[in-house]
Amino acid sequence: MDGNDGVQWPVVGQQAGSQPKRGSGLKWFLVIIFGLLIVAAFVFSTYFLTHDDTRGVTVVRMEGTMVTGEASDGDVIGSEVVGRELRAAADDPMVEAIVLRVDSPGGTPSAAQEIIGDLEYAKTKKPVVVSMGDIGTSAAYYVSAHADRIYANPDTFTAGVGVIWKFSDISRWMSNEGYNVSVIKSGTKKDMGSTSRPLSAEEELYAQKIVSDSFETFIGDVTSQRMIARSDIDDGRVIRGADAVRINVIDELGNLHDAIEGAKKIAKSRT
């Protein structure tokens, strides 16, 4: 007879007759998930309690001279940088309103037009309010005029609606110093603006036409966005915020926090 007949051998690590525990892995998984949810809730509640002043509002900064492209070094701000941030805020479901913080003397008309395109996109989704710092003139005001509301300080410099194109002529100095420049060109105006010679009468007329056409686009756009008398701004002067509010160049005197609160109110009124 086989010596193993009728013998029950115990399984290593398990008592004879016992069954492995089921569901213990699922239980620990649920415990971990629950713990993570508690931590996340704590983080979110802490953030909202400590950021109540800006909750639901994104501040996009347009600071420095405006140019097209990706520039952003404190002195210059690129249209693509500002535009990307405006669009991101517009598409963010957690953002209820946008404040564009403006501190810029202006820049190129093209940069303004590119940013306006992105600002108008943002406005289709949520309010956009401008808050001006030290200065918001020329092309910076061009952009600002498209916002739902403009805030500025009493001594903010704003408006400066106009177009300028400067030409330098150092030909007399070059002649005195013995410098000579030879130019081979394909057209009579190809070297227009060269410092080695003055503008011709024909070139002056052409430059004036470009400036005038650009100005008409600029001031026409501004006066279509805001109820401003053309005669109040067409001389190109800068205007203090305290005076600008009286002629509807801006809407209200206030700082960045006032603009944030104003943006919240507009967003709430639209819900």
Are residues 147 and 261 both part of a single domain?
yes
CA distances from 94 to 54, 89, 122, 170, 269 (A): 12, 9, 14, 56, 17
Q: Are 71 and 79 within 8 A, CB to CB?
A: no
Are residues 99 and 132 both part of a single domain?
yes
Tell me if 119 is assigned to some domain: yes
Are residues 60 and 136 both part of a single domain?
yes
CA angle 162, 100, 264 (to 5 degrees): 135
User: What average pLDDT does range 109-120 have in this prediction?
Assistant: 98
Are residues 155 and 169 both part of a single domain?
no
Are residues 204 and 251 both part of a single domain?
no
Q: Are 102 and 140 within 8 A, CB to CB?
A: yes
Report the mean per-residue pLDDT for the chain: 89
Altogether, the residues listed in the chain come to a count of: 271
Are residues 250 and 116 both part of a single domain?
yes
Number of domains composing the chain: 2
Q: How far, in Å, CA of 102 to CA of 133, rounded?
A: 6
Are residues 77 and 137 both part of a single domain?
yes
- Which has the minimum average pLDDT: 23-32, 147-156, 211-220? 23-32
User: What average pLDDT does range 206-219 have in this prediction?
Assistant: 98
Tell me if 101 is assigned to some domain: yes
Sequential DSSP letters for 36-74: HHHHHHHHHHHHHHHTTTTTTEEEEEEESEEESSS-BSS
pLDDT at residue 33, as a whole number: 77
**Is the pLDDT at 11 greater than 50, yes or no?**
no
pLDDT at residue 31, as a whole number: 67
Catalytic site residue 231?
Answer: no
Catalytic site residue 190?
Answer: yes
pLDDT at residue 23, as a whole number: 60
pLDDT at residue 7, as a whole number: 46
CA distances from 119 to 30, 85, 233 (A): 45, 10, 23
pLDDT tens string 155-171 = 999 999 999 999 999 99
**Is the pLDDT at 17 greater than 60, yes or no?**
no
Are residues 95 and 115 both part of a single domain?
yes
Tell me if residue 271 falls in helix, strand or coil.
coil
pLDDT at residue 49, as a whole number: 45
Tell me if 7 is assigned to some domain: no
Tell me if 56 is assigned to some domain: yes
CA atoms within 13 A on the CB side of 6: 3
pLDDT at residue 247, as a whole number: 98
Sequential DSSP letters for 89-103: HHH-TT--EEEEEEE
Greatest alpha-carbon pair distance for the chain in Å reads 129
Are residues 219 and 195 both part of a single domain?
yes
Tell me if 5 is assigned to some domain: no
pLDDT at residue 19, as a whole number: 54
Pairing of strands 76-78, 65-67: parallel
Are residues 145 and 57 both part of a single domain?
yes
For the beta carbon of residue 192, count every other beta carbon within 10 angstroms.
Answer: 17
Q: Which of 185, 189, 190, 268 is catalytic?
A: 190
Tell me if residue 41 falls in helix, strand or coil.
helix
- Residue numbers of the domain that contains 136: 52-159+237-271
Q: Are 212 and 223 within 8 A, CB to CB?
A: no
Tell me if residue 154 falls in helix, strand or coil.
coil
Tell me if 182 is assigned to some domain: yes
Are residues 90 and 146 both part of a single domain?
yes
Tell me if 27 is assigned to some domain: no
Are residues 221 and 252 both part of a single domain?
no
Tell me if 15 is assigned to some domain: no
User: What average pLDDT does range 198-225 have in this prediction?
Assistant: 97
pTM, to two decimals: 0.79
CATH number for the domain harbouring residue 93: 3.90.226.10
